[in-house]
DNA sequence: CCATTACATCAGCGCGCGCTGATGTGACAG
DNA sequence: CTGTCACATCAGCGCGCGCTGATGTAATGG
């Protein structure tokens, strides 16, 4: 396996609310106000989550007046997809390749 | 998006040690003793992590005498890969599809 | 038979993380 | 200018989770 799955990205996606946000952003670009409406979470809480997603490189921001729009970075998700595909392929090739009992 | 990313599976993979274990198991089938040697973690700790991976459906066990071998379930990883690929594809299609400011 | 090994489970501890309320800053409206 | 709105940041709280030591239970070896 050349590049393993990035732990930081996975960690950022491990929160249910953040995963919901990613799913929402996969349909349309939204600002914090929209996300507050959609998720029912507080603004402060949401802002914290967006910071995590931003620092993990999953999301990028686009300021628009006094609004901040968030959009997904598809390359990151595509990278995850490839890394898991590589893991799955490697796992399929394991077969009866088990290390002997010590 | 038909099937979104499974939060439980992602959560199970969000721990660095568990991710290491998955990477190890992608190469060869191992038992707990091997994993203790490879990771340096305590047996108790490892057993807890294996329980999490098992309950998430990522790993299946094969008892072999007094040893317990663990092997990955490639379908789960392949499923993750497809789900992230779908997310990435959807994210690419978003473009300038941004919801209007309220 | 008893000792050892492999593994699971449990109770307990400590820290990290998600949630919140309060506060600060910048952008627009009037 | 002042007030309001959108958003970020901070301090604090509480719970969950990862780690550990102790204990239980099979399976093997002598």
d(CA B56, CA A14): 13
Q: Where is average pLDDT lowest: A43-52, A80-89, B3-12, B55-64?
A: B3-12
If you average pLDDT over every residue of chain A, what do you get? 94
Q: Which two tokens stand for residue A2?
A: 């050349």
Nearest CA in chain A to B91: A26
Q: Which two tokens stand for residue A65?
A: 């007046």
Domain architecture of chain A: domains with CATH: 7-91 (1.10.10.10)
pTM (two decimals)? 0.92
pLDDT (mean) for A7-11: 97
Cβ neighbors of B18 (< 8 A, separation 6 or more) are: B12, B49, B52, B53
Residue A67 bridge partners (DSSP): A64
- The DSSP-derived string for A44-102 is HHHHHHHHHHHHTTSEEEEEETTEEEEEE-HHHHHHHHHHHHHHHHHHHTTTT-BPPP-
Question: Between the CA of A66 and the C1' of C30, what is the distance in angstroms?
Answer: 17
Higher pLDDT, B31 or B101: B31
pLDDT for A101 equals: 77
Query: What is the pairing mode between strands A67-72 and A30-31?
Result: antiparallel
If you average pLDDT over every residue of chain B, what do you get? 94
Q: Which residue has the tokens 């990205």?
A: A9
Measured between CB atoms, which of A67, A85, A97 is closest to B29?
A97
Interface test with B, best of A83, A91, A93, A102 (most B CBs within 10 A): A91
pLDDT (mean) for A50-67: 96
- Please state, for a pLDDT cut of 90, what percent of chain B lies above it: 88
SS3 A30: strand
Q: In the structure, what pLDDT confidence band is assigned to residue B2 with cuts at 50, 70 and 90?
A: low
Q: Please report, for residues A95, A98, B15, B35, B41, the alpha-carbon distance to residue B28 in angstroms, rounded to integers and kept in the order given.
A: 8, 5, 20, 11, 19
Query: A31 beta carbon < 7 A from strand D?
Result: yes
């Amino acid at each position: 396996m050349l590049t393993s799955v990035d732990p930081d990205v996975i960690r950022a996606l491990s929160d249910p609310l953040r995963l919901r946000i990613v799913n929402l952003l996969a349909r349309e670009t939204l600002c914090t106000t929209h996300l507050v409406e959609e998720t029912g979470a507080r603004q402060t809480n949401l802002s914290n989550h967006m910071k995590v997603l931003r620092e993990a490189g999953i999301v990028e921001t686009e300021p628009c007046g006094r609004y901040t729009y968030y959009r997904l970075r598809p390359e990151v998700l595509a990278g995850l997809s490839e890394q898991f595909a590589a893991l799955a392929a490697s796992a399929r090739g394991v077969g009866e390749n088990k290390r002997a009992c010590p």
